[in-house]
Amino acid sequence: MPTSPDTIATAAFKPASWTDPINWTDVFDTAGPVEVEIGAGKGTFLVWAAQTRPRSNFLGVERRLDRLRKIDRKIKRLGLGNVRLLRLEAGYLVGKLIPDRSVEAYHILFPDSWPKRRHAGNRLIQPAFAQEMHRTLRPGGAVNLATDSADYFGQMRQVMGGSGLFQEAEPENLPEEARTDFERGFIAAGKPIYRCRYLAA
């Protein structure tokens, strides 16, 4: 929830161990449901979510340092005490550091689509990753996915729906102010947006 900007030196988080599961009480100042955005970009969705759900805690994951620094400045300016930022590869984070049944939701919005067919194996949404998300989600926890790629959307649905671990649900209906910069650009270019939502069984 909002605090004085002067009390937030940085939202950047560094785990005490890079091999042991994270203790969320070491990450956030107050207890609450934990939501993780993978590929936070410039932080538009992350900041919107943190402002509109102040009782939840949000971890934004992004590999590019320049983007993390921009989000960090925005968080400090707004005085958001329920957001932390982590620079780490998503597969390692979810597979090694996130405890069992401890996450309320994952948001994976417009991940790299790797459009060339020979590169499709590099996409984030793969069977092994889906299994790790399910392990770390609370029962009924959500995975929210969005992409501009019809091919990747098909893969997402095949992986998530075919895993037997999730039930498909109605996608989130996000307001315009929650749209990522990627989504705004795709819409401006006239590209369709594909969304899906899966709940942990």
Active site residues: 112
114 in helix, strand or coil?
A: coil
Q: Whole-angstrom Cα distance, residue 175 to residue 70?
A: 22
Question: CA-to-CA distance for 114 and 151, rounded, in angstroms?
Answer: 10
3-class secondary structure, 105: strand
The dihedrals phi and psi of 196, each to the nearest 5 degrees, come to -150, 160
Residue 85 CA from chain centroid, whole number:
11
- CA contacts within 13 A on the Cβ side of 117: 0
Largest interatomic CA distance in the chain: 49
- Give dist(CA 44, CA 78) in Å, integer: 13
